[in-house]
Structure 1
Amino acid sequence: MAFDGIFTRSMIIELREKILNGRIVKISQPYPNEVILTIRANRQNYPLLLSANPQYARFQITKIPFTNPKVPTNFTMMLRKHLENAKLIEINQLDNDRVVYFKFSGRNEIGDQVNLVLTVEIMGRYSNVILYNQETKRIIDTIKHVGMDQNRYRTLLPGATYRQPPTQNKVNPFEDDKKMYVSLVKEFPNREILAKELLKYYQGLSKLTSLILADYLHQPKKIEDNFQEFLATTALPHPTKIVGKSKNDFSIFSSNEENMESYDDLSTLLDDFYQEQATADRVRQQGSQIIHVVKTNLNKNIKKLKKLSVELKNTQRADDYRIKGELLTTYLYQVSRGEKKVVLPNYYDNENLLEIDLKPQLSPSKNAQRYFKLYQKMKNAVQHISEQIAATKNEINYLENVQTQLELATPADLPDIQYELIKGGYIEVNVKKQSKKYKSTSSPQEFESTDGTRILVGKNNIQNEKLSLHSAKKNYIWLHAKNIPGSHVIIENDNPSEETIYEAAILAAYFSKFRDSAHVPVDYIQVKKLRKPNGSKPGFVVYEGQKTISVTPSIEDIQKLRK
């Protein structure tokens, strides 16, 4: 149903029960378009996420960990100045729209009580978080500044007057005194057509919600009762994720269908629904430099490999030069100085004639020597080019591995990957900064098999190397997708069950380049049989005597194994 007006209403009801009358104890802005207010209420701390992300705009209580930037943004400092220790006294919605007002009571610089409003406007790429004074309507600051050149209807800048977003001239379903839905049901008995008409008429409905409302109205009861039953669900929602073939969705309405997953509350539902998408988006934002460096170097090496392959193909002419040199030497008496070409019998090809180009300024013997030199030069080039091709392929494999890690990374993993690229010379930094000893703060991801065995998954090369070559006991079991860039996986058991090996293999396959493929081969072997070659890239190991298992990874299996 997406985050529409109906879902907004239910979320407000949920938040009122948990955080209303609580006080702000911490304010963070871990990502450019997202703010987290930690609110102390009912003897608990609730991290309230307010997001103006163009794709994932929302507000909720989140349990997903985050890392704050070293330097707070101007918007963060402004919020801390005005809202720290402020009390949340109201949470209201603009009609049935996706605009929410969090009203706080606090003190200004001179100690006077002041009411401030933090507004979350969920409007796609126009989404915003705005702090303004309730009495004067003066905007204190916004997470996104919008000037007159961007929006003539309303300016969203510090000092400007706050205006509500423009209305769509639709009816609030909670205030429909005319009961237009009765006429619509009679006029449009078809479910899909009725849903489209409801979407046009009522405010705050998504496509999915309008279809659900159409189903309610078609129930064998009085139409007015069906409509009121639909509205009442917003106060007693049934948080549900709808698992689709192409994409997932979420709703506040329950269903008995098999492709539904139920949750205890709306915030937990959103954490699960947005975790993978939002995390990938945050990594793209914070790791843009790293992603660019890896992509640039990968493309450069792919082009280099193509060029080297062409050069290697050209060296296959080396034997042609040798044959020409030998024929000239054999039939030297038939060659005259000053000739540009000569045709000689080729005893390597059933005495067929072979035309040989000559340098007129050179003697016949010198021409023969020239072909022998070209032959030797190309023969030497074969070895050099072959070595270059092998080195370039290793470089491509390494960069593809880093690229895979970035696709599966969280923002907390980025410092490790950045440090690795700095050490490898891919990213240039200040010499003094580089000389400081780096300490990794991230840890391998923990999972638990069905029988309770602990399984660890390295999320980057620094973690992989530390996990496999330093932390894991020698008799533990190590797994990795076969000949594919991916994570190192450790089963913390010297004699795990077949079920545990299978589940660990699913983890190794999922945290690899081929995580969307079926029948991914995964090698497993004891840790003591791993060896790191001298001078190899971080996280690179070799091994012999492994066993291989084929698995098909899925996100559902991964969720079951999370601790």
Structure 2
Amino acid sequence: MPLDGLFTHALVHEFNEKLVGGRITKVHQPYANEIVLVVRQNGQNYPLLLSAHPTYARAQITYIPYENPQTAPNFVMFLRRYLEGAKLQKIEQVANDRMINFYVNARDELGDVQEIRLTIEMMGRHSNIFLVRESDARILELIKHVPADQNRVRSLMPGARYILPPEQHKLNPFTNDLTDLATMILDQPVEAWPAFIQATYQGFSQDSAKALTRAIDTTGDRIQHAKNWLAAFDQPKPTLFHSDKGNLSYAAIDWLQDFATKQHFDSLGIMLDAYYVGKAERERVNQQAGSLVRVVKNELKKNNTKKKKLLATLTDAENADALKVMGDLLITYPHLVTKGMTSVAIENYYDNNKLLNIPLDPKLNGLKNAEKYFNKYRKLRTAVNYVNTQLALTTAEIDYFNNIVAQLEVASPKDVADIRIELMNGGYIRTTKKSKQKPKISKPDRFESSDGTLIEVGKNNLQNERLSLKQADRRDIWLHVQKIPGSHVIIHSPQPSETTLLEAAKLAAYYSKARQSANVPVDYLPAGKLRKPNGAKPGFVIFEGQQTLYVTPEPDLIARLKIKS
């Protein structure tokens, strides 16, 4: 079920139960198109996420902790001015559409009370969030400014009068009788019902129309079936459906649908977290990490090309002795060569006098050709040490960037910022901005094992280094997949139980390049045995005396053990 008007109806019902009467204590804008209002009600904080994302627009109470930017954007500064400290008076849906109004009473500059409305329109790429003064419907600010040449229907700029999107002239199924539905049942075949429902009633997606059709295409009073089906949205039963192919879909109620398995949740917010946590987070990471991915790919391409050339040089160096033999033979029998010859066959006294065909430079005589072979021999022999040194450095660079690739694959948006700082510090990304403020490194992900032991997982090299070499106790247990790029994992216990050790090893395997593999080797030892070589990249450590576990990553374990806040 996409987020249509019916689902929005259920959301508003949940919001009214949990949020109305609460006070807005904090306002954040973690991402460009999304805000979080923290509403405190009955001694509990409810983070309300309002997203105008073009693909994942939604409103929900979220339990996922969001990392906030160090500098607040202009829009959130406006919201804080009008909303922080205000009581949420009422929440209403607009005509069973994908629009929700949140009303508060705030004081203006003169201290007079004025009604302020926060409106979210969840309409794909046209999604937006408005702060509106209710008395004159003036837009005080909005999260997306849209110039007049991009929207000629209504003005979407601060100071303009807020106008609703164009009306669709459909009936609200929750406030109108179902006379038209009764007529449809009599006059049209069942296969035509979904299209009729969508064309007649506001807020029906294709999936919702098909679900209502299934509900009323039964014996008994069909109109009463329809009324009962609609009434269920006032008592939501959030359900996540898993198909045979692994696809996910969701609904506000447990309606009839083809699925392999289904999962019920206590609230719509918890269900939406489960549905969107991978999709929305991955989208955010892709947006933020696009430039980083290009940098990493370019560096990998450059170093892989360099490695091929170095290996080719080493192969030539292995044949250097053959060049010396040719030079020796030419200097021994120079009379066999005259200018203009392109090759000569000479008995090789190093190999039982077998004839050896030696290529020649036709412009040179025998002695000069011999000298040319000796020069090539000396250069290759001299180059071996340099090439081996460069080969080691290049291989280390390739390993480093493969590690970055693995980190980006499991990164959250806060991790992307750390990786960007690391690449800037390493000189891989140029920057002209010089900030006196020291960059803030995000915290590792925290998990609690089945027996209550704290486990931390570094998601990038800066986190890994700080976690393993600075924060961990020497007796804490450190884990890492064997010889594969991955995260550092710390069990904050010197003697963890076997269950905790296995769970931590599975975390290490999941947050690595081997997350899709089975029977992954994971090394572990006390953190005090780790050493960082001088000049090594961030997060690089050496160790000995480790033990090894073999585990298979379990994605479900991540959600089960992760500490939400």
- Fold conserved between structures, TM > 0.5: yes
- Code of the aligned partner of 1:356: P
Greater alpha carbon shift after TM alignment, 290-299 vs 115-124 = 290-299
Question: What count of residue pairs does the alignment treat as equivalent?
Answer: 557
Aligned to 2:392: 390
Q: Secondary structure at the residue paired with 1:36? A: strand
Aligned to 2:238: 239
Q: State the Cα deviation string for residues 531-560 of structure 1 (Å, max 9, x = none).
A: 333322121122344444333323212122
Q: State the Cα deviation string for residues 172-216 of structure 1 (Å, max 9, x = none).
A: 3333532326635874446xx754554455432234333332331
Distance in structure 1 (CA, Å) of the matches to 2:369 and 2:303: 38
Aligned to 1:280: 282
Aligned to 2:515: 515
Aligned to 1:491: 491
Distance in structure 2 (CA, Å) of the matches to 1:484 and 1:176: 63
Distance in structure 1 (CA, Å) of the matches to 2:275 and 2:24: 26
Greater alpha carbon shift after TM alignment, 350-359 vs 148-157 = 350-359
Distance in structure 2 (CA, Å) of the matches to 1:437 and 1:41: 37
Greater alpha carbon shift after TM alignment, 377-386 vs 349-358 = 349-358
> Residues 155 and 352 from structure 1, CA distance in 2 versus in 1: closer, same or farther, beyond 3 angstroms?
farther
Cα distance, 1:469 vs. partner? 3.1
Greater alpha carbon shift after TM alignment, 341-350 vs 483-492 = 341-350
**1:211 counterpart = 2:210:** yes
Greater alpha carbon shift after TM alignment, 169-178 vs 89-98 = 169-178
> Residues 417 and 308 from structure 1, CA distance in 2 versus in 1: closer, same or farther, beyond 3 angstroms?
same
> Residues 365 and 350 from structure 1, CA distance in 2 versus in 1: closer, same or farther, beyond 3 angstroms?
closer
Under a length normalisation based on structure 2, what TM-score does the superposition of the two structures give?
Answer: 0.88
Aligned to 1:178: 179
Q: Is the 8 A contact 1:331 1:344 kept in 2?
A: no
Alignment of 1:318-397 (within 5 A): 318-336=320-338, 338-345=339-346, 347=348, 348=351, 351-352=354-355, 354-358=357-361, 360=363, 362-397=364-399
Q: Secondary structure at the residue paired with 1:179? A: helix
Q: State the Cα deviation string for residues 70-98 of structure 1 (Å, max 9, x = none).
A: 33222223323343444433322222211
Q: Is the 8 A contact 1:478 1:489 kept in 2?
A: yes
Aligned to 1:125: 125
**1:26 counterpart = 2:26:** yes
Cα distance, 1:247 vs. partner? 2.7
Distance in structure 2 (CA, Å) of the matches to 1:323 and 1:98: 83
Q: Secondary structure at the residue paired with 1:233? A: helix
Distance in structure 2 (CA, Å) of the matches to 1:278 and 1:181: 40
Q: Is the 8 A contact 1:118 1:131 kept in 2?
A: yes
Q: Is the 8 A contact 2:12 2:91 kept in 1?
A: yes
Distance in structure 1 (CA, Å) of the matches to 2:31 and 2:235: 32
Distance in structure 2 (CA, Å) of the matches to 1:382 and 1:359: 29
Q: Which consecutive unaligned segments of at least 5 residues does structure 1 have?
A: none
Q: Secondary structure at the residue paired with 1:173? A: coil
Aligned to 1:91: 91
Aligned to 2:220: 221
Q: State the Cα deviation string for residues 43-96 of structure 1 (Å, max 9, x = none).
A: 444332211011211112223223333332222233233434444333222222
Aligned to 1:298: 300
Q: Is the 8 A contact 1:184 1:197 kept in 2?
A: no
CA RMSD of aligned residues (A): 3.1
**1:36 counterpart = 2:15:** no
Aligned to 2:113: 113
- Code of the aligned partner of 2:397: E
> Residues 185 and 492 from structure 1, CA distance in 2 versus in 1: closer, same or farther, beyond 3 angstroms?
farther
Aligned to 2:411: 409
Alignment of 1:145-164 (within 5 A): 145-164=145-164
Q: Secondary structure at the residue paired with 1:60? A: strand
Distance in structure 2 (CA, Å) of the matches to 1:432 and 1:123: 40
Distance in structure 1 (CA, Å) of the matches to 2:120 and 2:352: 83
Cα distance, 1:319 vs. partner? 4.7
Q: Secondary structure at the residue paired with 2:65? A: coil
> Residues 266 and 423 from structure 1, CA distance in 2 versus in 1: closer, same or farther, beyond 3 angstroms?
same
> Residues 204 and 315 from structure 1, CA distance in 2 versus in 1: closer, same or farther, beyond 3 angstroms?
farther
Q: Secondary structure at the residue paired with 1:230? A: helix
Greater alpha carbon shift after TM alignment, 200-209 vs 476-485 = 200-209
Q: Is the 8 A contact 1:217 1:226 kept in 2?
A: yes
